[in-house]
Structure 1
Amino acid sequence: MNRVRTVLGDIPPGELGVCDAHDHLFLRSAQSPGQELDDVAAARAELAAFRAAGGAAVVQWTPYGMGRRTAELAQLSRATGVRLVCATGLHQAAHYDAELLGGLRGTGLAELFVSELTDGIGTTGVRAGLIKVAGGFHALDAHARWTMTAAAEAHHATGAPIAVHLELGTGALDVLDLLCGELGVPGERVILGHLNRSPDPVVQRQAAASGCWLAFDGPSRAHHATDWRMPEAVRALAEAGFGDRLLLGGDTVVAGARSVDGGPGMPYLLRRARARLRVELGAELVERMLTEHPGRAFAVDWP
């Protein structure tokens, strides 16, 4: 039976509730020194604000080695009542130091992902519910192919969905050619993120035809110039017959983007973005994008 794997255990997809399908409570990267998401009290306040706005679940896409704070996730979920889904996987090489990557290259990366999905992360007992990987700008380098190959192996062993960071929203078709073409991952098990950052309607329709999930996440402090085009892009996909493949998220990646630190944060998704999308799509589809769709995208018949 399909279940969504949260940090507190597996639940039926219908119990996920209103879900931010792509966000971060904790995040640390060599690319953004001094901008880390690592404040537990701020994370708790952000979740409480999201809950007060009507939110019930958050999928954290922070992968291995980027400060997931897994033990804290379980405690925060209990304290706030917000269901949390944790990721395994690996981001672009630039986000890690060479020593960490060197150590991983001497091990079985797919086995690491499978272990975190099935046995748990470290000694926390928390199991990941998805695999996060990343493409490059209009291309896939050797690191992306290595991580995506391992992600596909882990998917075939567990059924876990694969969530993909598209650099500046590009490279969707290259990712699908590799994951779904060469590596045999079903399209409906792939979630493409950051599509609002490259608002190309032709590519988006071509990607949607694979059966994959299309995640529109924002508002983005770094890529705000494309945020205003998101409702139009989502409406075009719905009118083309792909309304049942859409997900929404906030993608908070630096402390200043949290609502409790003066940014839009997680509550914005429900406080402002939802109302804006209702104008384009109608309330029924928007509510399905926030509830039914995440349940389907992240639910797995776990072994």
Structure 2
Amino acid sequence: MKVRTVLRDVAPEELGVTDSHDHLFFKTAVLPGQELDDEDAALAEVRAFAEVGGQAIVQWTPYGLGRRAAILPKISAETGIHLVASTGLHRAEHYPDGVVEAVRLRLAEVFVQELTEGIGDTGVKAGLIKVAGGFHRLEEHARTVMSAAAEAHHATGAPIAIHHELGTAADAVLDLLVDELNVPPANVILGHLNRFPDHGFHLELAARGSFLAFDGPSRANHATDPRLFDCLGALVDAGYADRLLLGGDTTTARARFTADGPGIPFLLTGLRPRLIRHFGEDFATSVFVANPARAFATAWRT
């Protein structure tokens, strides 16, 4: 079992304290003027995370959204932070006209290539497939992309992480990926569940064996901080502490720590102390160290 980082494959126990969902570089048509494309700002953000004890960041930026893959090894080497890059495809509205159409018929091929040979001509291998569902349903685009992700998973062993629109349709994703396409549930990471704070729904998802990611702390436009601890508490009480992941999901320039936003370090400076007070040190170790080590590690087949 290995975690595929931008520098090399590492043993799961090497990953350490992990931000399980974030973005160093991200450029989308739905957030004009808030692109994450500044190399110096990204480097400063990662250094700030390292200074407060962070050791790994999983970047969920997929194909075509400004990943800046060639820069990631330099940032990793200079900061000592393990970085995991992503392949995959987001919802169609995130892309300029023509981008999705150009790759739609060869998505699985693109995903496998980026996981095994490298992103473009950078030689930087992705360690994760990131895809996206729709609001309360999986439209044709989502089903097509997820089917390609499942094919790429079966070829490589790569884990699959899902953006759930406002935290919805995670059950439909498991119906497709796990029940229909035979992806093991332990290789599926369900993201943004904090945006749909339905405890019963979360418990149903956890019972199906996937990892549950709660990401985007301090996003004022989502039901994140005010209900996060209630959501986590319900899952902990039901015995699912070993399925939980936490991430910052920094997607805009103004959200960076270096721009006076919460940024990536907030996970450890603001959130972790509260988690320890509410749930104990062992829980914090689980969500920041033990669980990511299992969620992002796989027996790579190529």
> TM range, normalised to the smaller chain?
over 0.9
The residue number in structure 1 matching 2:209 is 211
Gaps of 5+ in 1: none
The residue number in structure 1 matching 2:299 is 301
1:130 to 123, 128, 131: 128
Instruction: Look up the equivalent residue of 2:35 and give its one-letter code.
Output: E
Gaps of 5+ in 2: none
The residue number in structure 2 matching 1:16 is 15
Q: How many residues align?
A: 301
SS at match of 1:280: helix
Contact 1:46 / 1:258 at 8 angstroms: preserved in 2?
A: yes
1:279 CA drift (Å):
2.3
- The CA distance in 1 between the partners of 2:257 and 2:4, in whole Å, is 27
- The CA distance in 1 between the partners of 2:277 and 2:198, in whole Å, is 21
Instruction: Look up the equivalent residue of 1:26 and give its one-letter code.
Output: F
Runs in 1 of length 4+ with deviation above 2 angstroms? 220-226
After TM superposition, list the pairs within 5 Å mapping 1:45-56 onto structure 2. 45-56=44-55
Contact 2:248 / 2:264 at 8 angstroms: preserved in 1?
A: yes
- The CA distance in 1 between the partners of 2:213 and 2:223, in whole Å, is 17
Contact 1:197 / 1:223 at 8 angstroms: preserved in 2?
A: no
The residue number in structure 2 matching 1:200 is 198
Contact 1:6 / 1:127 at 8 angstroms: preserved in 2?
A: yes
Contact 1:220 / 1:251 at 8 angstroms: preserved in 2?
A: no
- The CA distance in 1 between the partners of 2:223 and 2:185, in whole Å, is 29
- The CA distance in 2 between the partners of 1:171 and 1:229, in whole Å, is 19
The residue number in structure 2 matching 1:41 is 40
SS at match of 1:79: helix
Instruction: Look up the equivalent residue of 1:181 and give its one-letter code.
Output: D
1:226 CA drift (Å):
2.9
1:222 CA drift (Å):
4.7
1:259 CA drift (Å):
0.4
The residue number in structure 1 matching 2:64 is 65
RMSD across aligned positions (CA): 0.9
Q: Alpha carbons of 1:150 and 1:285: their partners in 2 closer, same or farther (altered >3 Å)?
A: same
Contact 2:196 / 2:223 at 8 angstroms: preserved in 1?
A: no
- The CA distance in 1 between the partners of 2:220 and 2:121, in whole Å, is 35
Instruction: Look up the equivalent residue of 1:219 and give its one-letter code.
Output: P
The residue number in structure 1 matching 2:5 is 6
1:220 CA drift (Å):
4.1
Partner deviation per Cα, 1:228-285 (whole Å, 9 max, x = no partner)? 2111211110111111100011000000000000100011000010111122211111
